Amino acid sequence: MAEAYPQLDLDIQLCFPLYAASRAMVRAYGPLLDAVGLTYPQYLTMLALWGAGDASLTVGELGVRLRLDSGTLTPLLKRLEASGYVRRRRDPRDERRVQLDVTSDGWALREHVTHVPGEVARAGALEAADAGELRRLLDLLIAHLDERDR
């Protein structure tokens, strides 16, 4: 029966190695982030906020950056705020918008995770050029799939 549907062979699907690699990547980050009390989504959120520097991001801007909707972001941000890493506040010019600021504890947290990308990169054992090419190809794939959704 499999011969009749070769396009459905798991071993030729692009989606499966992407899925498996994503799960393996999250597992690689797990113990490193557990040590500082962060989940992987919280870590990505903090990376995005740190990347904005001193500028505030709105929840909407953060959602675009992380490709998450506000329903997913809100509980995550509440936990980061309860941990003292993020402060949420209403935009005084538009009360519908919520702005996010990294607290001093949030900036201090950055020092505790500076080793994480290097350790995960070593665990992945990709040469820098291969990792860069993989990133380029994934960015291209994402762009094409996003274009399809527009």
pLDDT tens track for 18-42: 999 999 999 999 999 999 999 999 9
pLDDT digits (tens, 9 = 90+) for 42-62: 999 999 999 999 889 999 999
pLDDT value of residue 1: 58
Max intra-chain CA distance, the chain: 63
pTM over 0.75: yes
All domains of the chain in start order, with CATH: 1-36+117-139 (no CATH), 40-112 (1.10.10.10)
Q: Give bridge partners of residue 98 from the DSSP assignment.
A: 90
Q: How far apart are CA 96 and CA 139, in angstroms?
A: 32
CB 86 within 8 A of CB 100: yes
pLDDT digits (tens, 9 = 90+) for 75-131: 999 999 999 999 999 988 888 899 999 999 999 999 999 999 999 999 999 999 999
> For the stretch 110-131, what's the b/e string if a residue is b when 16 or more beta carbons lie within 10 angstroms of its beta carbon?
eeebeebeeeeeeeeeeeeeee
Q: Is 39 exposed, middle or buried (0-12, 13-18, 19+ CB in 10 A)?
A: middle
